[in-house]
Amino acid sequence: AFQREGPPLDRFERAGRAFFNRFCRRHHELVVLILREAVGVNAAIEEQRKAIFQGLIDDIVGAIFSVTGRRDRATARRAQVVAVSLLGMLERVAYHYYIWETGSKDRRKVAEEAVAFIRAGLSSVLAAEH
């Protein structure tokens, strides 16, 4: 979703929507497995979860680099903090609305609100880069 052309914030927004509306809705069992397994209970699952999240972090950092056109140390550090923070928000929203509240009919609206919140934060961070 991010790879398609368009303004940077639109690309991030599409990626956020894809996470909720494609991945979380279509692969509920994977969301449960990735988010619910207690840390330290199963080393194999923990390693897989770590690899998945590291891959997502790397993707977000790469996206920020491509948007800012910068790869200096300060940008790299900031991009990693932003990526980890974004994943933390996405993870918590997904856990709450896709695992705890499995009967919720407003998931699409929740996804839109979460993406709007993230877009506003990204807008501020990316503006500081320029």
Query: What confidence tier does 16 reach under pLDDT thresholds 50, 70, 90?
Result: confident
Q: Is the pTM of this model over 0.75?
A: no
What pLDDT does residue 126 have? 72
Mean pLDDT value of segment 7-24: 80
Selected residue with higher pLDDT from 53 and 105: 53
Mean pLDDT value of segment 32-44: 69
Lowest-confidence region among 1-15, 41-55, 107-121: 1-15
pLDDT tens sequence across 64-119: 888 788 888 888 888 899 889 888 888 888 777 776 766 666 777 888 888 888 88
- Which residues in the chain belong to E strands, given as ranges? none
Dist. CA 7–CA 11, nearest whole Å: 6
> H or E element: which one contains 124?
helix 107-129
What average pLDDT is seen over the chain? 78
* Cβ partners under 8 Å of residue 27, min gap 6: none
